[in-house]
Amino acid sequence: MISAGSVNPLMRWGGGIVAVVALLALLAPWIAPYDPVAIDVRQMLQPPSWHHWCGTDNLGRDVLSRMLFGARVSLAVGFVAVGISVVIGIAFGVVAGFVGGRVDAVIMRFTDMVLCFPTFFLILAVIAFLEPSIWNIMIVIGLTSWMGVARLVRAELLSLRHREFVLAAEALGASSWRLVSRYCLPNAIGPILVSSVLGVAGAVLLESGLSFLGLGVQPPDPSWGNMLTAGKDNIQIAWWLSLYPGLAILITVLGYNLLGEGLRDWLDPRQ
């Protein structure tokens, strides 16, 4: 059982931030004070006030409401994209680390080749041929982010493959599937979990960057990235359009990074 004292401060602070952001995103339809896509030309570019806590944008839409619904988009992209990348990475890593030999060499050379391409520009190239949408963003980010997980899983499998308990199970007649699913992967779950948490932060940043460039979530649907685009166009007269979505991205990414670093320290047996 995990005691409160055993949880390090990084994990505590990161988990708190992640929990708050997730709760706000889940409750957005009920706690958002206004319709996030409702246009009101009478309220265009209003500064923060009691009626609009974070001000309004160039179409009179409430910034706070759009940020709450934008959190749902960013977290959905983060979790789905990381889920796709983890599944692909585990599959490649398990085959390379457990089978070894030429299969390992081929998979790792393919992984190294994909790693040679800058991820963001690779995503831009793929998105340029597809219709910009949240589902395409999720799939593309997931398909271009599995390499780190694959290398991590391969390294863990190479280390576990010749451990005494694995060799003993193999000597007793355990199948390859049972060796991997029962003895190898459960002992490699810690690094995979840390990589997944850190990957959510990276996916949120990627989605925000793509939406900022107009290749991600398309207006009028709210996203922190396309809200920053509106802020860029009105930076000299409406500072709040850039400040609040930027802080939301900063705090969310910081929370996942702190949680990931805390999990890494907590799961490391040498600590």
Q: How far is CA 179 from CA 13, 154, 172, 182, in A?
A: 37, 15, 11, 6
Which of these CATH numbers, 3.30.2320.80, 1.50.10.10, 1.10.3720.10, 3.40.1410.10, describes 72-267? 1.10.3720.10
- Residue labelled with tokens 């790693």: 115
**CB count, 10 Å around CB of 28?**
19
63-74 pLDDT, tens digit each: 999 999 999 988
Which of 12-21, 105-114, 120-129, 197-206 has the weakest average pLDDT? 120-129
| CB 248, CB 71: distance < 8 Å | yes
Q: How far apart (Å, rounded) are the C-alpha atoms in residues 137 and 237?
A: 32
Top-confidence residue, 102 or 134 = 102
User: Rounded to 5 degrees, what are φ and ψ at 56?
Assistant: -125, 160
Least-confidence region, from 114-128, 203-217, 235-249: 114-128
Give the CA distances from residue 261 to residues 20, 54, 79, 134, 254, in Å, rounded to whole numbers and listed in that order: 18, 31, 18, 28, 10
Burial class of 153 by CB neighbour count within 10 A (0 to 12, 13 to 18, 19+): buried
Place of tokens 């390294």: 155
> Quick one: tokens of 95?
């085959």
Mean model confidence pLDDT for the chain: 86
Assess contact for 166 and 178: CB atoms under 8 A: no
Amino acid occupying residue 196:
S
Task: Provide the token pair at 177.
Answer: 């599937």
* Weakest-pLDDT range from 51-60, 130-139, 146-155, 217-226: 130-139
Does pLDDT of 128 surpass 60? yes
DSSP state of 183: I
CB atoms within 10 A of CB 187: 16
Residue 116 pLDDT grade (very low, low, confident, very high; cuts 50, 70, 90): confident
* Stretch 168-193: mean pLDDT: 81
Q: What does residue 62 show for φ and ψ, rounded to 5 degrees?
A: -70, 125
Per-residue confidence (pLDDT) for residue 4, from 0 to 100: 47
Domain ranges within the chain, ordered by starting residue: 72-267
Fill in the amino acid letter for 195: S
pLDDT of residue 106: 92
